[in-house]
């Protein structure tokens, strides 16, 4: 029932000793990177002064902005020749963060995925359909290699093309899928259109839901419609991608692989570490990554550590389902989007004002982004065609940057709420 | 002659037209003709009024997005073939109509056809050469639509 029994059920003392060893290595190798090298010099930190896990608090937090500023190679702890793979955070083009892997890094990542999928119950006998985007996005390739490592027949179908997905599920008797939760719900409508009942007409038995925070209710809906067990998975490209924390068969929180990552939960306001069981922002440190070690990375994801041991016998502590974010990042169809990206694009268009509002809606099982934009008075010539053309142009401009197609609505000047202080730019109406 | 039409940008939701008509009522502006074209979430209200400049000022001051747009208002006979004569002429001259609407002046006598076009000067010249009557703002505001008064 364990992929790596000795690691997964290791005594806490031994696990912590392993973590300390990893931490020391990570800090030492991070010092070789331009970013951490400069930082350590600035704060006068000697990597050899990290002698206990508590000593990690001597190290400043790393943020997404740091990763962007050091773009592209400022975080490398090895020579570029050692790298074999690049990935980037999902979605964004202008503000993407990139992560590099050595061959050993890919091996550990693959092992983490195999461990995670095996933990949820996937076996060699399964047929695995990977319905995630392949390419720079970590969700596709990450799971792909994990599934092959387990030995399951892996179908790299990628995202989209709903009818073909369903046909493949039927034809090749897919038993396990990896899918974005909102897409899983959307796909249920296509099943109905095609007159295919997943419970009756497919052999589906498990699903990995990932790349998008979702609620327990969404999981239940997916489980019910497809007649399978759906497992929550957590990851972020900065920490490889998927394979950071996964649910076991008890589906009560996600085991975070503590031999690979050191976790802290902090109060996002005071930045102080909080006790186990208290909700806060998850902060992660890579313990095994060679190419690009990242120390005390602020994930901006809100969760808490579940201190109680799990019935499954694994000693790696669990975190709760992600509750939300401490920043304004939106996740739509698995794509990360910041309001500032929209603002930046709109500001480049002369005919519109700076005032805009983003509304996220759930229409049936489909998530949409509506962008309301104020038209400048001077631009209006009384022509509907001109407005239509402008609307299309804004849509195309935004689509090129955020990779999903928003519904742009032109509104009258001064009709949107005024921006006083911190503007409310996003209204999220998505509910179960 | 050229007339002026008010075009108002309005979101497609209840109350937007009501705001415009209440402003016109309060300002004692007479609306001679009105059309609305909409596209999904927004639209344009087009109005011919008796005092376009004053109406423009009232609407703008109320915070609306308004544009004053030249249009050609052509008088045509209100009988079968009346409109066709005009349209055939515009077609022969390769004048493209962007938007149009019409209203009756005197039942079975006279109607007005209002056209938005991009070649406005050419259109006016062509219509004058063919003896079509075009109305300017002043003429529009003076027209007597109450045909029954003539009985």
pLDDT in tens, A280-326: 999 999 999 999 999 999 999 999 999 999 999 999 999 999 888 88
CA-nearest residue to B11 within chain A is A411
Q: B77 and B129: one domain? A: yes
Q: B104 and B132: one domain? A: yes
* Domains identified in chain B, total number: 2
Asked if B42's CB is within 8 angstroms of A410's CB, the reply is yes
Q: B94 and B146: one domain? A: yes
- What whole-number distance in Å separates Cα of residue A352 and Cα of residue A356? 9
Asked if A382's CB is within 8 angstroms of B11's CB, the reply is no
Q: B65 and B98: one domain? A: no
Shortest Cα distance, chain A CAs vs residue B3, angstroms: 15
Shortest Cα distance, chain B CAs vs residue A371, angstroms: 12
Name chain B contacts of A388, Cβ cutoff 8 Å.
Answer: 39
Q: B94 and B35: one domain? A: no
A338-428 maps to which CATH number?
3.30.300.30
The pLDDT confidence band at residue A382, using thresholds 50, 70 and 90, is confident
Name chain A contacts of B39, Cβ cutoff 8 Å.
Answer: 384, 387-388, 391
Q: B58 and B76: one domain? A: no
Q: B57 and B97: one domain? A: no
Residues of chain A with CATH 3.30.300.30: 338-428
Among candidates A382, A414, A415 on the partner chain, residue whose Cβ is nearest the Cβ of B44: A382
Q: B62 and B84: one domain? A: no
Name chain A contacts of B40, Cβ cutoff 8 Å.
Answer: 409
pLDDT in tens, A30-88: 999 999 999 999 999 999 999 999 999 999 999 998 998 898 899 999 999 999 999 98
Q: B145 and B83: one domain? A: yes
Give the lowest-confidence range in A251-255, A313-317, A333-337, B72-76.
A333-337
Name chain A contacts of B64, Cβ cutoff 8 Å.
Answer: 412
Q: Determine the structural domain holding residue B146 and report its residue range.
A: 71-150
Asked if A383's CB is within 8 angstroms of B44's CB, the reply is yes
Q: Domain A5-328, what architecture?
A: 3-Layer(aba) Sandwich (3.40)
Q: Does the interface predicted TM-score (ipTM) exceed 0.90?
A: no
Q: B101 and B42: one domain? A: no
């Amino acid at each position: 029932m364990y992929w790596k029994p000795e690691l997964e059920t290791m005594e806490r003392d031994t696990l912590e000793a392993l973590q300390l060893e990893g931490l020391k290595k990570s800090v030492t190798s991070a010092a070789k990177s331009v970013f951490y090298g400069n930082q350590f010099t600035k704060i006068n930190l000697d990597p050899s002064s990290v002698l206990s896990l508590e000593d990690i608090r001597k190290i400043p937090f790393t943020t997404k902005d740091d990763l962007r500023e050091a773009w592209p190679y400022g975080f490398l702890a090895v020579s570029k020749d050692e790298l074999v793979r690049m990935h980037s955070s999902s979605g964004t083009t202008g503000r993407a963060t990139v992560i590099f892997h050595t061959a050993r890094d890919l091996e550990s990542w693959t092992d983490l995925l195999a461990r995670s999928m095996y933990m949820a119950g996937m076996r060699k006998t399964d047929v695995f359909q990977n319905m995630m985007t392949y390419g720079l996005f970590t969700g596709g390739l990450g799971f792909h290699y994990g599934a092959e490592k387990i030995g399951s027949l892996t179908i790299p179908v990628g995202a989209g093309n709903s009818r073909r997905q369903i046909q493949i599920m039927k034809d090749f008797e897919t038993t396990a899928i990896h899918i974005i939760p909102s897409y899983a719900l959307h796909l249920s409508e296509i099943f109905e259109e095609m007159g295919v009942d997943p419970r009756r007409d497919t052999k589906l038995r498990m699903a990995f839901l990932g790349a998008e925070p979702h609620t327990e209710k969404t999981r239940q809906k997916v489980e019910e419609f497809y007649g399978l067990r759906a497992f929550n998975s957590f990851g972020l490209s900065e920490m490889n991608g998927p394979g950071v924390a996964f649910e076991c068969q008890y589906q009560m929180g996600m085991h975070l692989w503590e031999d690979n990552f050191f976790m802290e939960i902090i109060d996002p306001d005071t930045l102080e570490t909080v006790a186990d069981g208290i909700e806060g922002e998850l902060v992660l440190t890579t313990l095994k990554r060679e190419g690009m070690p990242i120390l005390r990375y602020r994930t901006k994801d809100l969760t808490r550590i579940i201190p109680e041991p799990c019935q499954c016998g694994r000693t790696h502590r669990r975190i709760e389902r992600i509750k939300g974010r401490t920043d304004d990042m939106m996740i739509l169809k698995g794509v990360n989007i910041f309001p500032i990206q929209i603002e930046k694009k709109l500001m480049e268009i002369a005919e519109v004002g700076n005032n805009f509002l983003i509304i996220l809606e759930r229409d049936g099982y489909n998530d949409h982004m509506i962008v309301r934009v104020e038209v400048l008075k001077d631009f209006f010539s009384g022509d509907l065609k001109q407005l239509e053309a402008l609307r299309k142009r804004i849509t195309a401009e935004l689509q090129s940057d955020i990779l999903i197609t928003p519904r742009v609505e032109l509104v009258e000047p001064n009709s949107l709420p005024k921006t006083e202080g911190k503007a409310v730019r996003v209204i999220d109406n998505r509910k179960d | 002659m050229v007339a002026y039409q008010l075009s108002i940008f309005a979101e497609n939701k209840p109350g937007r037209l009501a705001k415009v008509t209440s402003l016109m009522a309060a300002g004692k502006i007479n609306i001679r003709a009105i059309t609305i074209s909409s596209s999904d979430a927004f639209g344009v209200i087009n109005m011919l009024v008796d005092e376009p400049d004053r109406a423009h000022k009232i609407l703008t001051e109320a915070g609306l997005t308004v544009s004053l747009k030249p249009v050609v208002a052509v008088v045509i006979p209100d009988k079968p073939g009346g409109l066709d004569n005009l349209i055939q002429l515009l077609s022969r001259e390769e004048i493209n109509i962007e938007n149009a609407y019409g209203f009756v002046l005197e039942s079975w006598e006279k109607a007005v056809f209002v056209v938005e076009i991009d070649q406005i000067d050419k259109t006016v010249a062509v219509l004058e050469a063919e003896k079509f009557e075009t109305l300017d703002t002043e003429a529009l505001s003076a027209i007597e639509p109450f045909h029954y008064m003539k009985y």
